[in-house]
């Protein structure tokens, strides 16, 4: 009988799919007008038809989530937000666009690759219960029982909305990447968890003031892209994008520890509406 090391557990099966949640890509494009000027109307028409087909959210080859938007400003003409458990299904959308008849007139711009997750700062039911007790609630009080029960009912939906989210039907959207600082004296990653959790709870409280006006999704680019997190906001009115970002800039987690990349604001549309807006094939 062997008395060597205990056999290790078998290695995980190789897979491009996550253990939970989805891959997410934000992709931005602009049209090369000089190239469009050299293309015949038939090629442009067939290219537009291909783009509409590729960007159909309910298409046979579409990823689980696909959203097209018209970008304001000069950073891009249009943007895509794509989500699926298979990252190659997401990339296939980009490859089909570039291989279309309109592909020669498409220039790639900014992109951000990330994944969904449930943040470590979202409390479990047990952690929420302890937080209530720490805040002075007594376990035998009716309000304590009601709050715990309400959180138990919300928690599964909160997890789902973070891992496999439904996109809100709101017209204005904004994306930006961000990091947490790692400077001497301002290193987020050397702070105790309780301190980070306190600041993130304050940050979340500021966001809750915009319930019914703004929806937010945080995706993680750590190890996948140049920035650590990507923030996607959807708003019932573009003014709310300004208001929530301004409000949350005063929170300590943001004011002291956050660094931000480019902001790309856009307006949700169909592919056909985007092409018409950009005067392609018109």
- Return the closest-CA partner of residue 268 out of 195, 201, 171: 171
Assign residue 56 the CATH number of its domain: 3.30.70.1030
Identify whether residues 71 and 144 lie together within a single domain: no
pLDDT for the residue numbered 156: 80
- Residue 122 CA to residue 238 CA, distance in Å, equals 27
Identify whether residues 53 and 85 lie together within a single domain: yes
Assess if residue 174 is contained within a domain. Answer: no
Q: How many domains does the chain have?
A: 2
CA angle 73, 77, 78 (to 5 degrees): 115
Assess if residue 131 is contained within a domain. Answer: yes
Assess if residue 189 is contained within a domain. Answer: no
**Residue carrying the six token digits 């005063």:** 250
In DSSP notation, 129-173 reads: HHHHHHTT--TTSHHHHHHHHHHHHHHHHHHHHHHSPPPP--SEE
Assess if residue 261 is contained within a domain. Answer: no
Identify the segments of the chain with pLDDT beneath 50. Answer: 1-2
Identify whether residues 130 and 82 lie together within a single domain: no
pLDDT for the residue numbered 8: 67
User: Is the separation of the CB atoms in 50 and 281 below 8 Å?
Assistant: no
Q: Which of 176, 246, 257, 267 is catalytic?
A: 176
pLDDT for the residue numbered 1: 47
Identify whether residues 43 and 89 lie together within a single domain: yes
> What 8-state DSSP symbol labels residue 222?
T
Assess if residue 73 is contained within a domain. Answer: yes
Given 133, 161, 189, the domain boundary residue is 161
The predicted-structure confidence for 219-246, as pLDDT tens digits, reads as follows 999 999 999 999 999 999 999 999 999 9
Identify whether residues 75 and 145 lie together within a single domain: no
Assess if residue 78 is contained within a domain. Answer: yes
| Residues of the domain holding 150 | 123-161
Identify whether residues 35 and 102 lie together within a single domain: yes
CA angle 38, 92, 34 (to 5 degrees): 15
Known catalytic residue at 176: yes
């Amino acid at each position: 009988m062997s008395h060597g090391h205990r056999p290790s557990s078998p290695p995980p099966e190789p897979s491009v799919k996550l253990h939970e949640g989805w891959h997410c890509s934000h992709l931005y494009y602009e049209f090369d007008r000089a190239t469009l000027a050299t293309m015949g109307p038939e090629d442009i028409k067939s290219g537009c038809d291909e783009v509409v087909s590729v960007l159909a959210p309910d298409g046979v080859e579409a990823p689980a989530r696909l959203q097209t938007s018209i970008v304001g400003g000069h950073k891009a003409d249009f943007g895509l937000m794509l989500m699926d458990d298979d990252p190659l299904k997401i990339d296939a959308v980009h490859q089909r666009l570039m291989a279309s008849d309109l592909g020669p007139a498409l220039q790639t711009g900014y992109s951000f690759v990330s994944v969904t997750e449930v943040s470590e700062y979202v409390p479990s039911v047990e952690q929420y219960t302890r937080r209530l007790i720490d805040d002075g609630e007594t376990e035998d009080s009716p309000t304590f029982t009601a709050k715990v029960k309400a959180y138990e009912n919300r928690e599964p939906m909160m997890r789902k909305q973070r891992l496999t989210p439904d996109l809100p039907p709101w017209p204005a959207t904004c994306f930006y990447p961000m990091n947490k600082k790692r400077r001497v004296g301002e290193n987020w990653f050397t702070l105790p968890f309780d301190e980070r959790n306190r600041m993130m709870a304050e940050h979340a409280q500021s966001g809750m003031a915009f319930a019914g006006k703004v929806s937010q999704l945080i995706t993680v680019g750590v190890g996948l892209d140049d920035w650590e997190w990507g923030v996607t906001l959807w708003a019932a009115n573009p003014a709310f994008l300004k208001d929530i970002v301004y409000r949350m800039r005063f929170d300590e987690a943001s004011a002291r520890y956050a660094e931000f990349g480019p902001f790309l604001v856009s307006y949700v549309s169909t592919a056909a509406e985007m092409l018409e807006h950009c005067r392609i094939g018109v």
